Amino acid sequence: MSDENMLFATEEQQESYNKEQEVEEVATRKYLTFRTDNLLFGIEAEIVMEIITNYSATYVPMVPSYVRGIINLRGQIIPLLDMRQKLSIEPMDTDCIIVIDVEDVRIGILVDAVSQIIDIPIDSILSVPQHNAQKYVSGMCTMPDNSGTMLVLDCPLLLAN
Amino acid sequence: MANNGDSVLEMYLYETNSLLEQLDDIMLAAEQADTFSQEDVNEIFRIMHTLKGSAAMMEFEPLMTLAHRIEDLFYLIRERTMSVIPEDDKPKLFNLLFKFIDYFRAQVENIESGKPLSNDIDNFVSIINTVIDKINGVDTKKDENTQESTSAPQSSAVSGYPYTLNIYLDEGCGMENLRAFMIVNDIRQCCSDFVTEPEDIDDSAVAPSIAKDGFKLHFSTITDRENAVKIVETLGFVKNFEEVDNVDATEQNDSSDKVESQPEVKKEEEKKVVQETVQKAPAPAPAPTSKPKAQPAKENSTPQGHQIKQSLISVNLSKLDQLMAVVGEIVITEAMVTASPDLKGLEGVKLDNFNKSARQLRKLTDELQDISMSLRMVPVSGTFQKMRRIVRDMGQKLGKRARLTIVGEDTEIDKTIVDAIGDPIMHIVRNSMDHGIETDESMRIAAGKNPEGEIILSAQNTGSEVIIKIEDDGTGVDTDAVLAKAIRQGIANPDVEYSKREILNFLMMPGFSTNTEVTEFSGRGVGMDVVKKNVEAVSGVVIMTSEFGKGSCTTLKIPLTTAIMDGMEVAVGESIFTIPIQNIRQSFKATDEDIIHDAMKGEMICKMDNFYPVLRLHERYGLTPRAEKTEDGIFVWVETSEDSYCLFVDELLGEQQVVIKPLPSYLNTFGIKESGIVGCTILGDGNISLILDVSNLISSDSGYSMF
């Protein structure tokens, strides 16, 4: 019986400990922010695999223009999406690629520049006003240092055709 | 029904299936010869025994009983040769065994799909019993002799000591009499009331007989024997032992199997049979037609003595896929190392050793690749042999005489393809039997054909594709009737004139069947379209040809699934494309004068007295070519089994071995496969080249559609 009590006590302790942890984890989420044109976007850091530069894409015919082609990332073939063209912004020569993994689909996103990784309190992410809903944006929030407004990129929506 | 874990069940299913297959082969050969050779009988006996043993282990009661009865039957045949079966009964015996195989297969399928086994075997058992009784009736006198000489179960009972323990020693352990004596001494330590057989067990004269047939201990009480068993179990050189009760049959009758009329004697016989197989089972030569197969370790309830040791193992297919993937990576990496751009800066530097090693590496990677590919290859013979059975069964049912000729059954093709073509081939063979071969032999004779129909099943590996042909010399396809029916079904347009080939293609439309009646085998209109679908699933094509009155031929062409292939790198503008070498017929230069224009603004070129369409790759894909004039670029004459045309590109970059990588699934949502790009590959310098699918490239381009 004493054994059980001990076990119980430990579990309880653990639980309360876990709860403390959870409260902290739930409160904020890490985002990677990047710029495309004059827009500041944020992607959940969890799905970002890596950030690469200096990769030349191989042109693939018969696909929409926002698909820049495919790149060879250490033997893996990954399609490359041009963020500017996807948002119907004038294309520009950039070479900063964010590789993300959305539901086991790996894809590279060509952006202007990557800014930083930042913890955002989940509560501060607000939904997009209905009548001026941006394409592929699931929410927005003011940056903690008031440097601007981050648009949260809806990656599954980005990949859906 | 207790399933002792999935892996055991899997093993059981695998083993049973391969045994049934083997049995099928033997039966077909035997039926052809109209008798069983002694070797066949031994083999069937062995198979039945194993089937029985493993069914018992898995507790599949009906299967065990049935296999047991057949085993009994073949035991009799084995002892007294085929002559015990009267000539008239032979077909019955063959049919009985075929039925048995079918029943067993059906049951195994039930097990596979998790359905309960049917217990309806009484009918079967009674037929088998009739046969056994008949044999016994025919030859009772001989029966007695055999009983006495071979087993003599009655004689083994020593009065007063009804509990017998038969002990068999390891083969070739030597000094059998002394070892037996040691055992007897050991046992004496715990119980003394028993007799041995032979009595003077330590006499060296009995050593050979102990080595051959073991020796027996007769106990007066069952507890004594149990104690003895405990001792015997611990001894290393004892191969096998069995407990036999010679108590009066009536005493234990109630506990025994109801199917058996004389349970005790049967048990006796079974025991003896166990011994028989363990001791005598000659390493059976695999049936000549059966393909070499990995025999899993036997997990029978009865300990198996000397199974044929085959140096084969079964490997999970996914592991082979992984191996292929790694080998693919190695091939790419090898190309990256030997063609490294860094080496270009070293011009003038002596690289002899490097080059030598690079050549050696190339040789080894080639070898590695060949071996890893060959691992996935299996001969088609297994699939082909199954068709013999179908031809036989259908021939009997439909009253048609036909023989199946198999050509090139040793052809090895990828396992996934073998699995995919099994059903299509079966459909086509059935079609040939049902619709092809004439019902009336006099019709065949009148047409000047051999009264016996012939179906030729052939396989051929051309290096780039596997060609499987199913030919029959039957009536062929009545194209007028097919067209009439196609029009009736609304598939064909009555105002259009169709070519013969187009009409035959109607046969492959879903729901199309020319047979007016639905038979057991075909006529439901599912058939050729399923064939087409299955074959297309492995990116193959089905081609039908037929001559009315003379027969028809169905050809399946399936590309070899090679993850690694030889390709020709071609450049168009900034892009590099790979054309599979096997599709390239020729490359040539041409000028504007050679090109002929048609009314649709299409271009053609004349090669070898034939006109071929021209496809300019840059126009097709909207690229900016470097070769603006026709004479600057080069034409690559490509062909597949269906199309042949000339592809215009900027330049040829050279031949290279490439590893096919699938395109990212994201790109497939844009239908890129239909536009002629089948995959991509990484070149030595890390760049990506797109692999062209020559047949899709032109068929997707509406202007050049062949039909």
Question: Taking 90 as the threshold, does the pLDDT of residue B579 lie above it?
Answer: yes
The predicted pLDDT at position B571 comes to: 92
Strand order of the sheet with strand B688-692?
A: B651-659, B564-572, B575-580, B688-692, B677-682
Domains of chain A: residue spans and CATH: 28-159 (2.40.50.180)
Residues of A with CB under 8 A from a CB of B: 58-64, 67, 70-72, 75, 77-79, 105-107, 159, 161
Which of A77, A106, A159 lies closest to B688 in CB terms?
A77
Rounded to an integer, what distance in angstroms lies between the CA atom of residue B546 and that of residue B553?
Answer: 6
Q: Minimal Cα distance from B328: which residue of A? A: A75
Q: Minimal Cα distance from A69: which residue of B? A: B667
Report chain B residues whose CB lies below 8 A from the CB of A64: 670
Burial class of residue B116, CB neighbours in 10 A (0-12, 13-18, 19+): exposed
Q: Model ipTM?
A: 0.77
B319-339 average pLDDT score: 81
Read off the pLDDT band of B272 (50, 70, 90). very low
Rounded to an integer, what distance in angstroms lies between the CA atom of residue B623 and that of residue B361?
Answer: 37
B400-425 average pLDDT score: 84
The predicted pLDDT at position B192 comes to: 67
Question: Inter-chain contact B690–A60, Cβ cutoff 8 Å?
Answer: yes
B100-105 average pLDDT score: 83
Which of B663, B666, B687 lies closest to A105 in CB terms?
B666
Q: Is the Cβ of B671 closer than 8 Å to some Cβ of chain A?
A: yes
Question: Inter-chain contact A59–B677, Cβ cutoff 8 Å?
Answer: no
Question: Taking 80 as the threshold, does the pLDDT of residue B212 lie above it?
Answer: no
Task: Say what percent of chain B tops pLDDT 70.
Answer: 76
Tell me what the pLDDT averaged over chain B comes to. Answer: 75
What part of B 12-71 touches A (C-beta under 8 Å)? none
Report chain A residues whose CB lies below 8 A from the CB of B665: 105
Question: Taking 70 as the threshold, does the pLDDT of residue B14 lie above it?
Answer: yes
Helix ranges (H only) for chain A are: 2-27, 83-86, 155-159
Question: Taking 70 as the threshold, does the pLDDT of residue B606 lie above it?
Answer: yes
The predicted pLDDT at position B447 comes to: 82
The predicted pLDDT at position B481 comes to: 80
B648-652 average pLDDT score: 92
Rounded to an integer, what distance in angstroms lies between the CA atom of residue B165 and that of residue B221?
Answer: 12
Cβ atoms of B401 and B441 closer than 8 Å: yes
Question: Inter-chain contact B672–A60, Cβ cutoff 8 Å?
Answer: yes
Where in chain B are all domains bearing CATH 1.10.287? 317-375
Question: Inter-chain contact A63–B663, Cβ cutoff 8 Å?
Answer: no
Cβ atoms of B187 and B231 closer than 8 Å: yes
Tokens linked to B163: 């509990």
DSSP reduced 3-state for B472: strand
CATH number of B6-149: 1.20.120.160
Instruction: Give per-residue pLDDT as tens, B439-459.
Output: 788 888 888 888 888 889 999
The predicted pLDDT at position B155 comes to: 43
CATH number of B564-704: 2.40.50.180
Burial B227-261 (b: 16+ CB within 10 A, else e): bbbebbeeeeebbbbbebbbeebeeeeeeeeebbe
Instruction: Give per-residue pLDDT as tens, B309-324.
Output: 557 777 888 888 888 8
Question: Inter-chain contact A61–B664, Cβ cutoff 8 Å?
Answer: no
Number of Cβ pairs closer than 8 Å across A and B?
Answer: 66
Backbone angles phi, psi at B448, to 5 degrees: 75, 25
Read off the pLDDT band of B689 (50, 70, 90). very high
Residue with tokens 């083997």: B22
Contacts of B575 (CB under 8 A, 6+ apart): A58, A59, A61, B621, B623, B690
The predicted pLDDT at position A1 comes to: 46
Tokens linked to B174: 């030597």
B294-317 average pLDDT score: 52
Element (H, E) at B38: helix B38-58
CATH class of segment(s) B317-375: mainly alpha
Question: Inter-chain contact A67–B670, Cβ cutoff 8 Å?
Answer: yes
Report chain B residues whose CB lies below 8 A from the CB of A60: 667, 672, 677, 690
CA distance A68 to chain B (A): 11
Question: Inter-chain contact B687–A75, Cβ cutoff 8 Å?
Answer: no
Which of B667, B680, B687 lies closest to A63 in CB terms?
B667
Which of B329, B576, B688, B691 to mutate against chain A (most A CBs within 10 Å)? B688
Question: Taking 70 as the threshold, does the pLDDT of residue B270 lie above it?
Answer: no
Instruction: Give per-residue pLDDT as tens, B460-508.
Output: 887 667 889 998 888 887 888 888 877 877 777 788 788 887 788 777 7
Report chain B residues whose CB lies below 8 A from the CB of A77: 661-664, 680, 682, 688
Question: Which residues in chain A show pLDDT less than 70?
Answer: 1-26, 130-134, 161
Concatenated DSSP letters for B410-428?
A: T-EEEHHHHHHHHHHHHHH
Concatenated DSSP letters for B333-352?
A: HHHHHHT-HHHHTTTTS--H
Report chain A residues whose CB lies below 8 A from the CB of B687: 58, 72
Instruction: Give per-residue pLDDT as tens, A57-76.
Output: 899 988 888 899 999 887 78
Report chain B residues whose CB lies below 8 A from the CB of A159: 666
Question: Taking 60 as the threshold, does the pLDDT of residue B3 lie above it?
Answer: no
Residue with tokens 């439901």: B524
Q: Is the Cβ of B491 closer than 8 Å to some Cβ of chain A?
A: no
Question: Inter-chain contact A77–B675, Cβ cutoff 8 Å?
Answer: no
Classify strands A39-44 and A28-36 as parallel, antiparallel or unpaired: antiparallel
The predicted pLDDT at position B276 comes to: 41
The predicted pLDDT at position B465 comes to: 76
Question: Inter-chain contact A78–B664, Cβ cutoff 8 Å?
Answer: yes
Question: Inter-chain contact B621–A61, Cβ cutoff 8 Å?
Answer: yes
Question: Inter-chain contact B665–A107, Cβ cutoff 8 Å?
Answer: no
Cβ atoms of B223 and B259 closer than 8 Å: no
B34-50 average pLDDT score: 82
Query: What CA dihedral angle connects B189, B195, B200 and B205, to 10 degrees?
Result: -100
Where in chain B are all domains bearing CATH 1.20.120.160? 6-149
Cβ atoms of B557 and B543 closer than 8 Å: yes
Q: Minimal Cα distance from A74: which residue of B? A: B686
Crossing angle for the helix pair B381-398 and B6-33, to the nearest 10 degrees:
60
Instruction: Give per-residue pLDDT as tens, B216-263.
Output: 777 777 777 777 777 777 666 666 777 777 655 444 444 444 444 444
Highest-confidence segment of A100-109, B61-70, B410-419:
A100-109
CA distance A88 to chain B (A): 19
Question: Inter-chain contact B688–A107, Cβ cutoff 8 Å?
Answer: no
Question: Taking 90 as the threshold, does the pLDDT of residue B51 lie above it?
Answer: no
Give the CA distances from residue B297 to residues B18, B136, B304, B313, in Å, rounded to whole numbers and listed in that order.
13, 37, 10, 9
Bridge partners (DSSP) listed for residue A80:
A69, A108
Question: Taking 80 as the threshold, does the pLDDT of residue B546 lie above it?
Answer: yes
Highest-confidence segment of A23-32, B76-85, B258-267, B584-593:
B584-593
Cβ atoms of B398 and B517 closer than 8 Å: no
DSSP reduced 3-state for B53: helix
Domain covering B378-559 assigned CATH 3.30.565.10 in the classification: yes
Question: Inter-chain contact B622–A67, Cβ cutoff 8 Å?
Answer: no
Helix, strand, coil percentages, rounded to 5, for chain A: 25, 45, 30
Q: Is the Cβ of B178 closer than 8 Å to some Cβ of chain A?
A: no
What part of B 321-340 touches A (C-beta under 8 Å)? 329, 332
Question: Inter-chain contact B664–A79, Cβ cutoff 8 Å?
Answer: yes
Which amino acid appears at position B195 of this protein? V
Highest-confidence segment of A18-22, A118-122, B132-136, B673-677:
A118-122
Backbone angles phi, psi at B508, to 5 degrees: -95, 5
Instruction: Give per-residue pLDDT as tens, B161-211.
Output: 777 777 777 665 666 666 677 777 777 767 767 777 776 766 666 666 776
Where in chain B are all domains bearing CATH 3.30.70? 150-262
Which of B667, B683, B696 to mutate against chain A (most A CBs within 10 Å)? B667
Looking at per-residue pLDDT, the higher value among B83 and B707 belongs to B83
Where in chain B are all domains bearing CATH 3.30.565.10? 378-559
Omega cis (within 30) before B198: yes
Question: Taking 50 as the threshold, does the pLDDT of residue B634 lie above it?
Answer: yes
Cβ atoms of B411 and B461 closer than 8 Å: yes
Question: Inter-chain contact A59–B688, Cβ cutoff 8 Å?
Answer: no
CATH number of B150-262: 3.30.70
Rounded to an integer, what distance in angstroms lies between the CA atom of residue B242 and that of residue B164?
Answer: 8
Burial B29-39 (b: 16+ CB within 10 A, else e): bbbeeebbeee
The predicted pLDDT at position A33 comes to: 92
Bridge partners (DSSP) listed for residue B542:
B556
Cβ atoms of B259 and B35 closer than 8 Å: no
Question: Inter-chain contact A159–B622, Cβ cutoff 8 Å?
Answer: no
Question: Inter-chain contact A59–B575, Cβ cutoff 8 Å?
Answer: yes
